[in-house]
Amino acid sequence: MAVAKQFLKSKPIAKVTFELSAEAVNGAKSVALAGEFNGWDISAQALKKQKDGSYKTTVELPVGSEYQFRYVLDGTTWTNDWAADKYVASGVAGEENSVVVL
């Protein structure tokens, strides 16, 4: 898993690529990205399956902030990014959210 960041010189935006490895997907048929940047809507940002079995998507986000997020496997199983910048308490049953810092 990885979160890759590409900062644009022309405006205060970063292209953030979220990727979940085939191992982490663990046979799921769909993977979505839910976070503060899309209102935690599990249908707003689907990840595309790659040839190696991983899933990937890119989102443009304003720089200078931190964004909580999680991946949703098959619409039901929420999981964190093992390589997130940090983790914070989600406020739900002792769970944590992944955080990307821009």
Residue 52 has pLDDT above 90, yes or no: yes
The domain segmentation of the chain, as residue ranges, is 2-101
User: What 3-state DSSP class applies to 81?
Assistant: coil
- Tell me what pLDDT residue 1 has: 58
Q: Which CATH number fits domain 2-101: 3.40.30.10, 3.40.50.1970, 2.60.40.10, 1.20.1560.10?
A: 2.60.40.10
Higher pLDDT residue, 2 or 25?
A: 25
List of residues 6+ apart from 91 with CB closer than 8 A: none
Residue 2 has pLDDT above 80, yes or no: no
Name residue, tokens 């022309």. Answer: 10
- Tell me what pLDDT residue 93 has: 83
pTM of the model: 0.93
CB 31 within 8 A of CB 71: yes
